[in-house]
Structure 1
Amino acid sequence: MVDIGYLAPDLAKKYGSAPCLRDDRSELTYAELADRVEAVAAQLASRGIGRGDVIAIMLPNRVELVTAIMAAWRLGAAATPINPMFTANEADYQIMDSGAQLVVTSGLGAPNGGRAVLCVDDLAVAPPSVPLPDVAVAEEDLALLIYTSGSTGTPKGVILTHANLQFMASSMGRSIGITGADHCLLVLPLFHVNAICVSVLAPLIVGGQVSITGKFSVSRFFDDVARLRPTYFSAVPAIYAMLTSQSEGATLDTASLRLGVCGAAPISKELLERAEERFGFVIVEGYGLTEGTCASACNPYDGIRKLGTVGPALPGQEIAILADDGTLAQRGVAGEVIIKGANVMRGYLNRPEETAKTVVDGWLHTGDVGFLDEDGYLTLVDRIKDMIIRGGENIYPKEIENSLATHPSVLEAAVIGAPHQVYGEVPVAYVVAYPDSPVTENELLEHVTALLTRVKLPVAIYVVDALPRNPVGKIDKPGMRRALSVEPAR
């Protein structure tokens, strides 16, 4: 069998009895993980799953989700993890679009798209008496089909190969200094490639540990950190906002943590600074897309960190800025962020035209606007599609959000364009305040009036309890825009 680097048999040969993977039900060494994977692989093989096939896995975060993915890889097959909170309609779409032949689920009542079902409680734990034949897994074989959130249309299956995953796990691991001494507390959902690469594969390929937490809650997080003593975790800005909003008088033991990784959505410089000061560990902000196997830039753990940027390109990747005229922009000039490297997806499943528009001459076109400074650190300006055009003036919501974030009471802010009968669009802001720092709309408007030109000022600022989010934790701006479009702003 080809040494991919993270296949269960290869890991067992390297790390044997070292602690590997745990959740609330199980605790496995590397050798025990390999046995579990072999057991499930034999089950899948008995049901006709083999090289080139796809299985769907619709489970909450637990050890069996990882073993099922690795069992598919053991057979030369691929996996498509599905959000366990999906409706039957959403799940059936992904199952059928991916061509999955079998679905691993929590129970027989779960969606299955009319495919064969293997219940998680029926997964084998003992390897077969007759060993499975070796399968020559190649780096260019399909490993994962990760579906985009579908916020701009029908979800698309992103084709990620073993080469993509292997490159990302090692590249990200080098950037944040992961070694065999590290222990990751996995809090993000495993239907997203960030969790699979940064929280599972990156530590496992160097002999580290992974602890899978249950459904995230703030109290559970701090209890797990105190009990399990992890050294790092990866999370989205919403989680850092929730952690930071805890009472200043609370006793929180985070001494074991050396690092937090933040990605999936922009985070304000102010929130980063507040979180680092509160908890005493380094937080590195990164940036990437599912189409780029989750990460393309990250502030280095050991090196110069520039808060407000998402850092330089990760090892082995290139980041450039595409100007409006199609040429590469100079440093300091904003344009579309494009990415090249071994992390770039093979394409969208069965969507050659969309693939050709997104990956051009090896460059992944992100749809994000940003600029590079003299050191190659990337600052994101906004999403191209999020830009507000107010009476012919281009307005980037992130600039307004950044201005709101400088107010000491602001925990989070989201700005979207609302329809307007005269100007076409106008900015509207939604703000979540820290629990101990109430603030009024008028106070916030007065604050940003001193920081922004008049055309960029929100026509309304609403203080809300929470911002709506999609399944991977990003603020659901498309949904917010749809809600506002029902009643245009005046």
Structure 2
Amino acid sequence: MTTLAYLPWLRPPTFDELPSVRDRRCELTYAEFAVWVDAVAEQLAEYGVVPGSTVAIMLPNRVELLVAMVAAWRLGAAATPINPMFTATEADYQIADAHAVIVVNAGPDAPHGGRPSISVQDLRWAPLTNRTLPEPDTSANDIALLIYTSGSTGRPKGVVLSHGNIGAMASMMSTHLEITRDDHCLLVLPLFHVNAICVGFLTPVAVGGQLTVMERFRAGEFLDAVESLRPTYFSAVPTIYAHLVSQPADVVADTSSIRFAICGAAPASKELLAATERRFGFGLVEGYGLTEATCACTCNPVDGPRKLGTVGVPLPRQRVAVMNEDGTLLPPGERGEVVVQGPNVMQGYLNRAEATADALGDGWLHTGDVGVLNEDGYLTLVDRIKDMIIRGGENIYPKEIETVLHSHPHVREAAVVGAADAVLGEVPVAYVSTYPDSALDADDLRALCRTHLTKIKVPVAIEILDALPKNPIGKVDKRALRTLTPAGRSIPAPTSTTRQGA
């Protein structure tokens, strides 16, 4: 059953003095977190935040991000978390598209899209004695989150998630993973992702557990935190596990408190999963999901059979199937598009009726991924229908990069494909052609990308060709471009700094 028990005003009184959330700056009980939420809600209300408004939050991982998000919910508003590494171009687009009333950010120099902003250091700690907030009246139908994800058009779309959606996900995860008040999540994923919000924050606090927020992942700091704080679980992407198992042999940490860890967001090899379990001794469960499904659709069980190479079984109250191109559902063993039903499926894309109809029109969420279900209900992912590149767990859509490249006056054609990378999985590589008699330098294009794109989206290599290969109907043949990037082709690897920031 879906509940909204993650909301401070609906928590049991027995939670009040339990540890709730912490980061390197502060540590709060459930009661203290609730007081801070009320204080910030009161502050947001002074800027005109009312039921139905949207509050944009552009902060790195820290407790204040969670406080601001829940404060928006306290007023009946939605929150849209923004990647703190976004350029002004990227952030301003999301702020405008979400119709944000106000932006909570890192300071006056941070992007704000022309809206009023509150710097994180100016957030109010305690309610004013002469102000009274209205009684909270949160329903499952209220919009909780607008999480932005790119699509085939190259313009990010706002995924509309209700409290019913995120409440369902929290209860599904706590049931499937057997999360209780004795659990403690160590959060290393970025809080502008729905995975971190739902699995890291909502799932434990809905049952009286606790959360420690790390600002970023660094292997040494992470292992130190595991030893000192004794968390019971965490969720990460394959790149993080690759960094962990690559630590020198003399790096030893007591990880005995971890009863399981989750791997998701990108495909992981059986070898990586097995190496992680051998080195650190905890069980690793691989799962699968997408923002449009409020994070997770399937996951290997913690105590049941864990089948390496699969992404597990459907979570409780979800139906996961494989569909043929004609709309019929396929039997086990047959390959087709993965489709999903359940109370976790999004409300739609913000102000994009056509895209919503494409994704949900027949009553199923169409994931764009190709998979196979076996007789036991375990899902194996085979391929991706879309051209999306997954770099260290971060989704990169080629069209967004291509749009920036096309903005250069000398670029006639641009196409971006993924090239294999041993640590990050995939990295973007760009191919461009120029107009006749145009002089163009790859460094100029790289500088253009750095101005308008987050660092992870900047191509690791830009090749200038006389013309891009075409398929029989005249479209750029990306399959042919991918044949230009195997071993033997000179594609530089990302720098160590880029990898660390994955």
Asked if Structure 1 and Structure 2 have the same fold, meaning a TM-score greater than 0.5 normalized by the shorter chain, the answer is yes
Cα deviation, 1:238-284, whole Å, max 9, x if unaligned, reads 11111111112222221211111111111111100000111000111
Aligned mates of 1:335, 1:461 — CA distance in 2: 35
The 1:171–1:182 alpha-carbon spacing in structure 2 relative to 1, beyond 3 Å, is same
Aligned 8 A contact 1:386 1:416 in 2: no
- Over the matched positions of the two proteins, sequence identity in percent amounts to 55
2:58 is aligned with 1:55: no
Partner residue, 1:400: none
Partner residue, 2:206: 205
The 1:156–1:224 alpha-carbon spacing in structure 2 relative to 1, beyond 3 Å, is same
Partner residue, 1:486: none
* Amino acid corresponding to residue 253 of structure 2 in structure 1: L
Aligned 8 A contact 2:3 2:171 in 1: no
The 1:90–1:464 alpha-carbon spacing in structure 2 relative to 1, beyond 3 Å, is closer
The 1:292–1:3 alpha-carbon spacing in structure 2 relative to 1, beyond 3 Å, is closer
Count, aligned residues: 427
Q: Which moved more, 1:87-96 or 1:244-253?
A: 244-253
The 1:301–1:132 alpha-carbon spacing in structure 2 relative to 1, beyond 3 Å, is same
Aligned mates of 2:491, 2:375 — CA distance in 1: 38
Give the drift of 1:157. 0.2
Question: RMSD of aligned C-alpha atoms?
Answer: 2.8
Aligned 8 A contact 2:5 2:207 in 1: no
Aligned mates of 2:7, 2:347 — CA distance in 1: 21
The 1:193–1:148 alpha-carbon spacing in structure 2 relative to 1, beyond 3 Å, is same
- Write the mapping of 1:189-204 to structure 2, written as runs, cut at 5 A: 189-204=190-205
Which runs of no fewer than 5 residues in structure 1 stay unpaired?
388-403, 432-440, 442-458, 474-490
The 1:316–1:466 alpha-carbon spacing in structure 2 relative to 1, beyond 3 Å, is farther
SS in 1 for 2:287: strand
Give the drift of 1:174. 1.2
- Write the mapping of 1:135-284 to structure 2, written as runs, cut at 5 A: 135-149=136-150, 153-284=154-285
Aligned 8 A contact 1:12 1:30 in 2: no
Give the drift of 1:128. 3.1
Partner residue, 2:312: 311
Cα deviation, 1:178-222, whole Å, max 9, x if unaligned, reads 110011001111001000000000000010010001222111111
Give the drift of 1:420. 5.3
Partner residue, 1:446: none
Aligned mates of 1:411, 1:120 — CA distance in 2: 34
- Write the mapping of 1:36-115 to structure 2, written as runs, cut at 5 A: 36-115=36-115
SS in 2 for 1:385: coil
Aligned mates of 2:213, 2:304 — CA distance in 1: 29
Aligned mates of 1:471, 1:323 — CA distance in 2: 40
The 1:152–1:429 alpha-carbon spacing in structure 2 relative to 1, beyond 3 Å, is farther
Give the drift of 1:150. 5.2
The 1:344–1:413 alpha-carbon spacing in structure 2 relative to 1, beyond 3 Å, is closer
2:44 is aligned with 1:32: no
The 1:294–1:470 alpha-carbon spacing in structure 2 relative to 1, beyond 3 Å, is farther
Partner residue, 2:440: none
Aligned 8 A contact 1:104 1:120 in 2: yes
Aligned mates of 1:330, 1:369 — CA distance in 2: 14
* Amino acid corresponding to residue 102 of structure 1 in structure 2: I
Give the drift of 1:138. 1.1
Aligned mates of 2:165, 2:324 — CA distance in 1: 28
Which runs of no fewer than 5 residues in structure 2 stay unpaired?
389-419, 432-467
SS in 1 for 2:313: coil
